Structure 1
Amino acid sequence: MSQTLTMVTSNANKAREVAAFFGGAIEVSHVALEIPELRSEDVRVIAREKARYAYDHIHRPLIVDDTAFSINALKGFPGPYAAYVLSTIGNTGVLRLMDGVQDRTARFTTAIAFSDESGIEVFSGTIEGRIIHGTRGTGGFGYDPIFEVGEKTLAEIPLEEKSAISHRAKALSAFSTWFMNRQDPGLRDTNR
């Protein structure tokens, strides 16, 4: 019998990616809940507060995530404000900011926060890559068409493969290992 978990996000693409990651080992339901975001440079802090808010509203075991997209040449911009930057200037604006820039290295960091009646646990994962000069690929979402890992953008990588290598996959892998084996409640962060 598989365990059930709720993914709380307003982004249905993230919920699909999470469900694909677990491949049925954990049944993932989706709740779209608008969550006010704490301002912080640390996605772990933001994810923790999102989990606290979500659990206080839906009262069932859940996960939330928060992602930073950090471009080295732009001193880490947009960082944890990636969603806002995407909704305002988009990939086209980011590519304009990168015009003529030699150092195109960047990284995604995702923090997954789990919350239930016992408290909150946070797990993170990072993937390194580079910003390409245009867009490539039709899959994925967000910055995927401009972020290259190896020879492909995340938008060119099939969902099943992306679900195994992405920043979110790394955070989910750490979470999954803990979740499937959690026996020691003494390790819980119960600060609500």
Structure 2
Amino acid sequence: MDNTLIYVTSNDIKFNVASKVFTNTEIVLLQKNLSTPEIQSKSVQEVAMYSASWASKQLNQPVIVTDAGFYIEALNGFPGPFIKFVNEWFSVDDYINLMQGKTNRTIIIQDCLAYCHPDEKSVVFTGSYRGKLATQSGKKCGTSIEQLFIPEGYDVPISEIPVEEMISYWSKGEIMTNFKEYLLTKDDFTIQKLQFKRLL
């Protein structure tokens, strides 16, 4: 019996977080690197829902897709769901310059998971993480925002925190746990519904 659920992501840390959440269940997560189209929307939920729907039709399998938006309060929520593109354009110094004179350095990460069967509407789970923007760069690794984002409970940016510790931090988020509980307790859920063909 092949109880496989496909997680469409190229991010190994995201996949490791999900795998940790699904430990001790009968569900096996399979990572699939598939480039999905991203619609231009201010809603991270709409972006994730569209990507999940597209991927499920392409693979003809149920899938999960996650997306996140970084909302800097002092910049009226910029860059929001456009973080991926802004990180390609903005350096660490660009972010720091934008924050000159700003006393509120709060960042809220809006996290979203979309689960979709082919030809069915996506089911969406959302959650959030809080943190602040550093005044100077951390280690020169990862994206610009990862060199500046200090998670709540820490005093250094993500780029300074060991990967194993960040996996533990992200795995405490609510969306993957809520999704697992939904999947395992929904009225019409059976293991047979997850007898998908394994992708090689």
TM-score for the superposition, normalised by structure 1: 0.81
Q: Given the alignment of the two structures, is residue 176 of structure 1 paired with residue 177 of structure 2, yes or no? A: no
Aligned length: 185
Structure 2 residue aligned with 1:146, among 145, 148, 156?
148
Structure 1 counterpart SS, 2:108: strand
CA deviation string 1:23-79 (max 9, x = no partner):
464422111111111111111111111111000101112110111000001000000
| CA spacing shift, 1:180–1:27, aligned 2, 3 Å | same
Tell me, which stretches of 5 or more residues in structure 2 are unaligned? Answer: 190-200
1:17 Cα offset (Å): 3.3
Q: What RMSD, in angstroms, separates the aligned Cα atoms of the two structures?
A: 2.8
Cα pair 1:137 1:145 within 8 Å, conserved: yes
1:177 is matched by which residue type in structure 2? Answer: E
Structure 2 counterpart SS, 1:125: strand
Q: Given the alignment of the two structures, is residue 70 of structure 1 paired with residue 74 of structure 2, yes or no? A: no
Hey, what does 1:40 align to over in structure 2? 41
Structure with more relative contact order (C-alpha pairs < 8 Å, separation 6 or more): 2
Q: Given the alignment of the two structures, is residue 135 of structure 1 paired with residue 147 of structure 2, yes or no? A: no
1:16 Cα offset (Å): 3.2
Segment of structure 1 superposing worse, 124-133 or 99-108: 99-108
1:7 Cα offset (Å): 1.1
**Whole-Å separation in 1 of the counterparts to 2:2 and 2:165:** 22
TM-score for the superposition, normalised by structure 2: 0.79
1:154 is matched by which residue type in structure 2? Answer: I
1:85 Cα offset (Å): 0.7
Larger-gyration structure (1/2)? 2
Cα pair 1:109 1:167 within 8 Å, conserved: no
Segment of structure 1 superposing worse, 29-38 or 141-150: 141-150
Higher strand share: 1
Structure 2 counterpart SS, 1:87: helix
**Whole-Å separation in 1 of the counterparts to 2:140 and 2:127:** 24
Cα pair 1:44 1:111 within 8 Å, conserved: yes
State how 1:47-66 maps to structure 2 within 5 Å.
Answer: 47-66=48-67
1:130 Cα offset (Å): 0.5
1:49 is matched by which residue type in structure 2? Answer: Y
